[in-house]
Amino acid sequence: MKTNLRGKARYLALALPFLITVLFFLHRYYSYDPQASTHRVSPANHEPNDFWVEFFSRLEAARPAAAPIEFEGKAPVENWEPDIDHARANIINMTSEDEAALRVSHRGFITELPAFARHLPYDAETTGIVTTAGAPNFGQVVTMVLMVRQSGSELPIHVVLDSSTRLMDDLCMETLRSLNVTCIYLSDVWAGITPHPPKFSLYQWKILSILASPFQNVLFLDADLLPVHNPDAIFEPGSEPFASTGLITWPDFWTPSASRLFYAIAGDVEVPPLTSRTSSESGMMVIDKARHPDTLLLAAYYNYYGADYYYALLSQHGPGEGDKETFLQAALVLEALYKKRGSGYAPTHWMTNNSNGKRKKGYWDVKTLPKVHGRTSKGEWKGMFMQQMDPMEDYRVVMAATKELNEADYYTDSSFLATVGNLTKGIEPDPTRYMFYHHNGVKLDFTKILEPDNPIVALDEEGKFQRLWGEPDWIIKNTGRDVERQLWREATKVWCRTPLKKVCQKMKDIYVYLY
């Protein structure tokens, strides 16, 4: 009997380290949320991250003592014309008291920004892809992850979650983890913070997810943003434009519609001409936290107070109002304030290139305009996605078109495009180098494929299934492979490993018929 007890004790001693390891990883990836899932385990004795305590404290300390902006009407929807400048739309009327309060808030936050930016946490020399999701769009994230891996990318991926379900938890632990994806639950990250962070809206999650990921170099992708070419080379040593800027943004179709009041509130900075650039399209963005902590935190301020003030100030209810303008405009404002350093502002030292020349800082807003691709079904055309250019190809053609200009000035001169006229007519990028397809016309969430009239599934005049993107020749010519066929194949495998049996069968039927 004693021998048996000793044997049990020995086995228990051997098993204990394994059990501790398992519990550690369960704690690492899961926490209990009674509103969402019964599969996750609550973190024990969780201490709030010092950065997040400071983050919310500083943002609340800068809360504007102004009434939320409300106004009728909206900025006109205009396709950007780089040859044509005109007066900006002036729709917002604000009392002098509210404008003064917003100025005080903005200036106070900027003044504290140099110290605050030094506390932005990240793991040095790490690079990865970040996205954000919740229960409503998690199916799109699965599609995006599959496309990332099909492109050949080996970058790790962080999915920052604002909510959870049992199915999401299972996919995070099994399918996504096998694809080098980590799910980060913000409910875990913020556990123990007092007072608890406020409830955030759709557009605010982008900046929160970038900050929550420990990657230093981030390629942010919306859940409906599909890379069709490998983006990893963007981050290679010496790869331009990232090497010399640390920030890459992409264009939308529209004329910028920020109010002049925004530039006044931001410190009476110069209002850029409308010919300088299009409005921004923030479905994808590349940023280095080591060079742009100030840019990210000012963008966080604009988003934290976006719904009440800055979304309206930056778009005036124009197309796509939300977070889209907050990132590039944060960089432009910091640049302008640095140039106005005699005005009493305390500029951040990150706004200058390092003297050793090894870590330059600026911004690159891609000049190649997006293209729209769609599908015709039963005589009706529907836009499927926006094509956005490979930034390395964009850099190549822009530099070729402006080779006589001072390249160093370009990185931080917000009025550069206005000095060279219509640059879009002078660049001819390789049309097969569109790297990203922003699938905002039809959301590729295959869990919804059974819904009546779901636009993923379309029938022709004869009642036959149609491909998503049209003829395979077009797909192969522009991507080098039948991306759509690969996506359906891999997505079918994923969803057939879940309890969604009817979804699985529908996807199998379509795949067999079309591909």
pLDDT band at 9 (very low <50, low <70, confident <90, very high): very low
What's the confidence (pLDDT) of residue 390?
98
**Cα–Cα distance, 450 to 411 (Å, whole number):** 48
What's the confidence (pLDDT) of residue 405?
56
Query: Which has more confidence, 461 or 346?
Result: 461
- Burial (CB count <10 Å: 0-12, 13-18, 19+), residue 499: exposed
| Interval 72-95 mean pLDDT | 84
Quick check: 279 and 320 in contact, CB under 8 A? Answer: yes
Q: Identify the CA nearest to 251 among candidates 429, 91, 442, 403.
A: 429
**Cα–Cα distance, 133 to 117 (Å, whole number):** 26
What's the confidence (pLDDT) of residue 2?
41
* Residue type at position 61: A
Least confident of 76-85, 153-162, 255-264, 481-490: 76-85
What's the confidence (pLDDT) of residue 342?
56
Domain ranges of the chain: 56-367, 445-514
Most confident of 375-384, 385-394, 457-466: 385-394
What's the confidence (pLDDT) of residue 499?
96
Residue found under tokens 């879009």: 424
Using DSSP's 3-state secondary structure scheme, residue 337 falls into helix
**Cα–Cα distance, 442 to 139 (Å, whole number):** 13
Residue 173 has pLDDT above 70, yes or no: yes
- The rounded mean pLDDT for the chain is 85
Query: Which has more confidence, 344 or 260?
Result: 260
What's the confidence (pLDDT) of residue 23?
36
What's the confidence (pLDDT) of residue 462?
86
Residue 486 has pLDDT above 80, yes or no: yes
* Strand-strand pairing, 157-161 and 225-227: unpaired
* Strand-strand pairing, 434-438 and 380-389: antiparallel
What's the confidence (pLDDT) of residue 22?
36
| Interval 322-339 mean pLDDT | 91
Least confident of 291-300, 366-375, 377-386, 407-416: 407-416
Model pTM score: 0.87
pLDDT band at 36 (very low <50, low <70, confident <90, very high): very low
pLDDT band at 345 (very low <50, low <70, confident <90, very high): low
What's the confidence (pLDDT) of residue 353?
47
Residue found under tokens 């557009």: 203
Residue 33 has pLDDT above 60, yes or no: no
pLDDT band at 47 (very low <50, low <70, confident <90, very high): low
**Cα–Cα distance, 108 to 352 (Å, whole number):** 22
| Interval 488-506 mean pLDDT | 97
The pLDDT tens digits for 206-244 are: 999 999 999 999 999 999 999 999 999 999 999 999 999
In DSSP terms, 371 is beta-bridged to 387
Residue 388 has pLDDT above 50, yes or no: yes
What's the confidence (pLDDT) of residue 468?
92
CATH 3.10.590 is right for the domain spanning 56-367: no
Residue found under tokens 């090497």: 243
Residue 273 phi/psi, 5-degree rounding, is -65, 155
Using DSSP's 3-state secondary structure scheme, residue 66 falls into coil
What's the confidence (pLDDT) of residue 35?
35
What's the confidence (pLDDT) of residue 226?
98
Rg for the chain, CA atoms, rounded: 25
What's the confidence (pLDDT) of residue 321?
87
The pLDDT tens digits for 444-455 are: 999 999 998 899
Residue 60 has pLDDT above 70, yes or no: yes
In DSSP terms, 21 is beta-bridged to none
Residue 145 has pLDDT above 90, yes or no: yes
What's the confidence (pLDDT) of residue 25?
35
| Interval 374-378 mean pLDDT | 89
In DSSP terms, 288 is beta-bridged to 217
